[in-house]
Amino acid sequence: GIQVEQSPPDLILQEGANSTLRCNFSDSVNNLQWFHQNPWGQLINLFYIPSGTKQNGRLSATTVATERYSLLYISSSQTTDSGVYFCAAPGAGSYQLTFGKGTKLSVIP
Amino acid sequence: DAGITQSPRHKVTETGTPVTLRCHQTENHRYMYWYRQDPGHGLRLIHYSYGVKDTDKGEVSDGYSVSRSKTEDFLLTLESATSSQTSVYFCAISEGTGGSQPQHFGDGTRLSIL
């Protein structure tokens, strides 16, 4: 099946800093999703992004399907951005989403 | 927020007992999923459903069964719980298959098996 790798595994930021999270996948995909798991354990869908770039406030995501990666940008980070960020992609012809192991982000005041 | 309710939210039980977790949605989505989340393993798919009475296995289905008798409800059953099934369980829904539409998650059930 498809392999999904995320980097870095851990990231500590000062409030106000910018960051880029990366997601690499082993096979071509026709879409990709980014999720945020907050410190209370809730999983929130941030982006559904087959290709190109999408923006939602201080967050934006870019997927380059031909090169098999996606990037999540967080600008002017806030303590509420802390948590774990997951990317997930479906395998070819698969009903299933395969998740990466996540990037744990800690934003400190 | 997607209308997904998981129950119970927390449960502690003993090895060998049956356990049923419930996922209820108000979005009328066709696809429903059960995942487990464990440290070091991330989220792994247990079973999924693509319609009423239509279900299939995911990556880690051994020891679990599911049922979907109505569009809005998807049940996950551990017939005889084992300590290795201690985990956080998430239900998810989507309008389309696999990753063809965004998946939205419930708040999870924390299950401890002693």
Q: By the CB < 8 Å criterion, does B54 face chain A?
A: no
B44 with B108: CB under 8 angstroms? no
Q: Percentages helix, strand, coil for chain A, rounded to the nearest 5? A: 5, 55, 40
Residue B42 CA to residue A78 CA, distance in Å, equals 24
Residue B30 CA to residue B41 CA, distance in Å, equals 27
Q: Which residues of B touch A88 (CB under 8 A)?
A: 43, 99, 103
Q: What does the pLDDT read at residue A92?
A: 64
**Gap from B24 CA to chain A (nearest CA, Å):** 16
Per the structure block, which two tokens stand in for B71?
């569009």
- Picking from A2, A23, A7, the residue whose alpha carbon sits closest to that of residue A92 is A2
Question: What is the distance in angstroms between the CA of the first residue and the CA of the last residue of chain A?
Answer: 41
The shortest CB-CB distance from B99 to any of A43, A90, A100 is to: A90
Q: By the CB < 8 Å criterion, does B99 face chain A?
A: yes
For residues A64-93, give the mean pLDDT: 92
Residue B37 CA to residue B110 CA, distance in Å, equals 10
For residues A34-44, give the mean pLDDT: 95
B97 with B37: CB under 8 angstroms? no
Per the structure block, which two tokens stand in for B12?
């502690």
Angle at alpha carbon of residue A51, lines to A50 and A55, rounded to 5°: 95
Q: What does the pLDDT read at residue B96?
A: 83
Poorest-pLDDT segment among A55-64, A86-95, B2-11: A86-95
Q: By the CB < 8 Å criterion, does A26 face chain B?
A: no
Question: What's the one-letter identity of residue A38?
Answer: N
Interface test with A, best of B4, B37, B46, B107 (most A CBs within 10 A): B37
Per-residue pLDDT tens digits of chain B, which is 114 residues long: 569 999 999 999 999 999 999 999 999 999 999 999 998 888 999 999 999 999 999 989 999 999 999 999 999 999 999 999 999 999 999 988 767 789 999 999 999 999
The residue written with tokens 């003993």 in the block is B14
Question: What's the one-letter identity of residue A30?
Answer: N
> What DSSP designation does B65 have?
E
Are residues A96 and B105, on separate chains, in Cβ contact within 8 Å?
no
